[in-house]
Structure 1
Amino acid sequence: MSDFAIAIMDSKAYQLIQTDRNLQYNVYYVKATKQSTTLVFVHGFPNSSYDWRYQVAFFTKLGYGVVVPDMLGYGGTDKPLDYTLYAHSLVANDIVNIIDHLDVQGPLVAVGHDWGAPVVGRLANNHQDRFAAFGFLSIGYQIPNATATYEEIIKENKRLYGRQLFGYWDFLSEEDATELIKQHYESFMDLWLAYTATSINKISEIGGFRPYLLQDIHDPRPDYLTPEEAKTTKLIFHKSGIKAPLNWYKVVRSDLDREEASKIPKESYQVNKPVFYARALNDWIAIPALFDSSMAYTPQLTIRDYEAAHWVHWEKRDELNHDLKKWLEAL
């Protein structure tokens, strides 16, 4: 059992697993009982396996198996500072190593949110035969980007949507971002959790995030996050640290993302397995229109729309869980 467990779900269900890259992952694992399917939940920034608490409680009660790692850089998992180790294809390989180590039997379904979604996308590109289906929450499936630079993406978003959308990637890739976020933690989390049009517009443009933090702006937090959950999230954050998780932004801010994408053959872009896409209609960064062209590569697509912001699996947890259950039963 990992010594990182902080009353996160059932602490006894955690185990430490070494991957082929000699990286140690802290993984929450419950074996399937009444169902044959095991769900692999892949979280994003700036969270941990605790991100999936509502889904774990719901699906394990139904007898599904769950594999829920603290992703690289987070929680009780290793936190290397070399950003090249966070390339999406490499992390997808880690997920496969974890599944092999656990010797999971029966169908596997990978579900990703935030930066977990591109990892699930790489599982679909590079390991499609290992999975029965794939789920994408808020962030839709994206075909590998082998050509567009960060600057080109920023410019094109401005042209199409009237704002840059991902300007905050610039700040989160800078060396002093770690200390500024630690010094202004409450303001940072207010912004990240609120995810309202007003707050996100402040940081979507390049140069907007730094003054936001320095002014210690506080946005109202959503009522679906309880004070106890906020306390646990803060505890995990301070024990885990933020320096390593910021490497996920350095990957996409650098040439590495395009370099690894260029190695994926175009015939692997199409996902010939069932795909579930939860569109968060009030997400002001991951706007659904961003994923329209890539979703054309998923012919067995199921889309569900939610009046929710980025954290759809918290805000609309009951509705989403039941929609996922219905989709899984139909596979």
Structure 2
Amino acid sequence: MDPQAYQLLKPNRDLQYNVYYVKATSQTTTLLLLHGFPNSSYDWRYQVDFFTKLGYGVIVPDMLGYGGTDKPLDPTLYQSSALAQDIVDVVDQLKVQGPVVAIGHDWGSVIASRLANNHNDSFAGFGFVSVGYTPPNPAMTYEQFLAVTTSMFGRELFGYWDFFASKDAPEIIGQHYDAFWDCLFAQKPSAVKQISTKDGFRSYLPQKVPTALPSYLTQEEADITKQNFKNTGLKAPLNWYIVMMNDKLQQEDAAKIPKENYKVKKPTFFACCLNDAICLPALYETSMPPLVPQLTVHKYEAAHWVQWEKRDELNQDLKKWLEAL
């Protein structure tokens, strides 16, 4: 990704965002690509390269807490609707000509969901990668959510949120930084299942289990990704989890969204990852269709980082879907 394509923009909240922007040329559509934890705009390098060569525009922000974007430590600044408004402000400042399609991965999918809920008219379509459309949740607590998903699948899927939201998480991750990334990159089901519990990371990281990089990730790419996250500091990105663990903040945010906005009113693409050990396909197979009537689903033999692992397949499927719009 060309370093010269980044620019600093300030939404109305006066938080500075570092944004990669290339104008559309031979196409009319611009793709807004939203990354998740624990990454940066660099996450989308293969999609940026593919679609800009086809003439599409791209907007790829470092999300709040990451990369060259501001890194406030106040968790209240990370509420989903406020983050979605930041992104809309950024798009508005760029004065993009033509339709914009918002596509999110991981926590970026949650922000894409809030764009669909709160800013439907600003976008021509929505895409969700690995993590599907996530409707507002004004009532269920984290512990209730954890109990329901544990009952459904026989194991804790999201217990690791509790660790990431803890005060000592930055210190523990920092002490075992390579082991942290080895686990995330390798996506070994056995390792991921272990760390998904509340105490999983605390017991797994000190073991420093050696794992090889997956075939789709070079050592250089891994080093860049690891360094990008280390440069941000660990405290700010973990605020994304602190907000989700704070039932009051999360429910207050969700309660502001009218129920009639829960249904996604635009064409929607979902990249379902069959080998994801946490964001299981079954979480979305029945929940998404009633709320997403214009849904296109593509399934991939991939773990969580499908935009790297199956980049050619994903890019071609997105291209066909965008052309159909």
CA distance in 1, matches of 2:38, 2:230: 11
CA distance in 2, matches of 1:88, 1:162: 29
> Retained in 2: the 8 A contact 1:19–1:98?
yes
Question: Quick one: which of 155, 160, 167 aligns to 1:163?
Answer: 155
> Retained in 1: the 8 A contact 2:272–2:298?
yes
Question: Quick one: which of 286, 290, 294 aligns to 1:296?
Answer: 290
**Does 234-243 or 154-163 show the bigger shift?**
234-243
Q: Counterpart of 1:44?
A: 36
User: What SS does structure 1 have at the residue aligned with 2:131?
Assistant: coil
Give 1:122 shift: 0.1
CA distance in 2, matches of 1:51, 1:242: 18
Give 1:215 shift: 2.0
Matched, 1:96 2:88: yes
Give 1:63 shift: 0.3
Q: Counterpart of 1:318?
A: 312
CA distance in 2, matches of 1:149, 1:290: 17
User: What SS does structure 1 have at the residue aligned with 2:140?
Assistant: coil
CA distance in 2, matches of 1:142, 1:294: 8
Q: Counterpart of 2:20?
A: 28
Give 1:46 shift: 0.4
CA distance in 2, matches of 1:204, 1:237: 20
Question: Quick one: which of 235, 241, 245 aligns to 2:237?
Answer: 245
Question: Quick one: which of 263, 267, 277 aligns to 2:260?
Answer: 267
CA distance in 1, matches of 2:199, 2:230: 26
Q: Counterpart of 2:180?
A: 188
Q: Counterpart of 1:5?
A: none
Letter in 2 for 1:309: A
> Retained in 2: the 8 A contact 1:141–1:295?
no
Matched, 1:116 2:104: no
Q: Counterpart of 2:77?
A: 85
Q: 5 Å matches for 1:128-167?
A: 128-167=120-159
User: What SS does structure 2 have at the residue aligned with 1:112?
Assistant: strand
> Retained in 2: the 8 A contact 1:186–1:218?
no
CA distance in 2, matches of 1:277, 1:217: 33
Q: Counterpart of 1:3?
A: none
Letter in 2 for 1:299: P
> Retained in 2: the 8 A contact 1:142–1:295?
no
Letter in 2 for 1:135: G
> Retained in 1: the 8 A contact 2:274–2:281?
yes
> Retained in 2: the 8 A contact 1:92–1:123?
yes
> Retained in 1: the 8 A contact 2:106–2:130?
yes
Unaligned residue ranges in structure 2 (runs of 5+): none
> Retained in 1: the 8 A contact 2:213–2:219?
no
Give 1:209 shift: 1.2
CA distance in 2, matches of 1:187, 1:298: 38
- Percent identity over the alignment is 61
CA distance in 2, matches of 1:227, 1:184: 18
> Retained in 1: the 8 A contact 2:103–2:126?
yes
Count of aligned pairs: 323
Q: Counterpart of 1:257?
A: 250
Normalising by the residue count of structure 1, what TM-score does the alignment of the two structures yield? Answer: 0.96
Give 1:141 shift: 0.4
Letter in 2 for 1:48: S
Q: Counterpart of 2:323?
A: 329
Which aligned segments of 4 or more residues in structure 1 are displaced greater than 3 angstroms?
none
Q: Counterpart of 1:197?
A: 189
For 1:153-206, what per-residue CA distance to the aligned partner results, in whole angstroms no more than 9, with x for missing partners?
111111110001001001100111111111111100011112221011111222
CA distance in 2, matches of 1:110, 1:295: 19
Normalising by the residue count of structure 2, what TM-score does the alignment of the two structures yield? Answer: 0.98
> Retained in 2: the 8 A contact 1:140–1:295?
no
Q: Counterpart of 1:4?
A: none
> Retained in 2: the 8 A contact 1:158–1:164?
yes
Q: Counterpart of 1:56?
A: 48
